Structure 1
Amino acid sequence: MATQQVTTSPRTRRTRSSNYWWALAWIAPALILEITFFLYPLFNTILLSFYNSTSTTFVGLRNYQQVFTNPAFLEVIKNNLLWLVLATILTVGLGLLIAVLVDRVKIESVVKSALFLPMAISFVAAGVIWRFVYKFDPADQPQTGLLNAVVTFFGGQSHAWLQDSTLSNFMLILVYTWMWTGFCMVIISAALKGIPDEILEAAKIDGANRFTLFWRVMVPMIQSTLVVVLTTMIISILKIFDVVYIMTGGNYHTDVVAMEFYNQLFQFNNYGLASALAVLLLITVIPVMYINVRRIREEEALR
């Protein structure tokens, strides 16, 4: 059997070529920005992490070895893990709890507005505000810090909250929790509003109490939202910097990875070690982002 050969006219080829160049012209600005401000800095940072402090001598994995063997850097990693566990549990847990408690009550809008208000404040401003809250004055002087004023009013002793290395990290995590709990609450509350009333009523008819209704009905139905909120918090916490920088500057055993990266780069001019810390942050964030994106795609495929 003879086959018929399909030919393309010169006009069609010119049209396709024109469309190709027009499409390339439209995406060129985005590609240039992506290469200039993302890809080039990314690969350059990875390359610098294998060089010494002045970026003149190749040292291989020595910078990474120092991060995981030096006691000071190990403490930095430990602080980041403390932030990751405690701050994530507090923000997401409290956000979920408050969203359930105030759901469909008369003062719901008031409570949500009050708790979401800290999101309107920058991390720097929040750090300044809470430094005054934690301010410590000598015992023989009036306490101008809010927390110490309350403690001494009820007969307690004033305390240097931020200077106490056993409490300083927890005090900083409390500030972060104050800022981000409202965000978690609003997102989770929106998901709770999407649960059909018929499902809740059917569960109540079947004899489900409030605890069972919460764990067996509400939580499974908003699971995808909880995962998104959880991954958002994890990514944000891994990169925590502002609160630590403003309130303690990394002193009193409160240093974290992002803070140490800043110190190595801008104070000690150690480009190799700073780049290694930046790469480690990137490596820890990528799996969380991948899980989040994969879950979103799976949900879109089911629709």
Structure 2
Amino acid sequence: MSAPDKPILQVKNLSVRFGKGAIPAVNNVSFDLGPERLGVVGESGSGKSTLGRAIMKLLPTVARVTADQLDFEGNTLLDRREREMRALRGNRMALIMQDPRYSLNPVIPIGKQVAEAALLHRRVSRSEARELAAKMLERVRITDIERTMRLYPHQVSGGMGQRVMIAMMLLAKPRLVIADEPTSALDVSVRGDVLNLLDEMVRENNSGLLLISHDIRMVAAFCQRIMVMYKGKVVETLQRLEDAEHPYTRGLIAALPDPAHPVRRLQTLDRALIDAAEPRP
């Protein structure tokens, strides 16, 4: 029997602190990620996005990142210099941001931006890069490719902009994809299509997907595992929401509106109960 493949990403006791006061934002987070869909959920301020940026080494200089292990494809990222990280970002690892209107360059046409990813990471000629860009935009189900490539980011809808971002980030076939709230800026009518597209492309590339979201119901339907964060810590990791035991996770579930059972007032989180469940330092 052959040995199982190593995880794409291995994280052990990752912590992030900010400023001279060493204000904690992420505390001793540990997980492995293989070729799968792992969701990270929690309220705003729970440390989800900070965790994703720490893995990519995209935090500002006031942030101090420590870890016992932070390995990508079997190699440590802890001592990688910025030049080495730039060679990985957009190539072997990709970050899909929340709102494409603010992530795409507003003064460069869409076609040129997608082609630039091919020039940087596929080492092809300009004509080949443009051809790859057109094929990738077609893969993300954008019609009228030539017209779209001439448009600027402000001239497309949020859904189309997110498709462009996915095309650009996945053009180099990265092994690790971190998607930070990729559907929160989209209409409900296009969210499912964007998620299905993202799933299709990471499956094709045998990638690991870290999906960051506050929408626990969407993550539960889309991801194979769910990692719940509260105050910078992972309180539990689940395969099904029904198996939740921590009062924070159960509180998040209870606060979700249920069209089948409408209530006059949604439940709120019991902070005292949640904090009592946290181990004392």
Bin of the TM-score, shorter chain as denominator length: under 0.3
Higher helix fraction (1 or 2): 1
- Higher CA-based Rg: 1
TM-score when normalising by structure 1: 0.18
TM-score when normalising by structure 2: 0.19
Larger relative contact order (Cα-Cα within 8 Å, sequence gap ≥ 6): 1
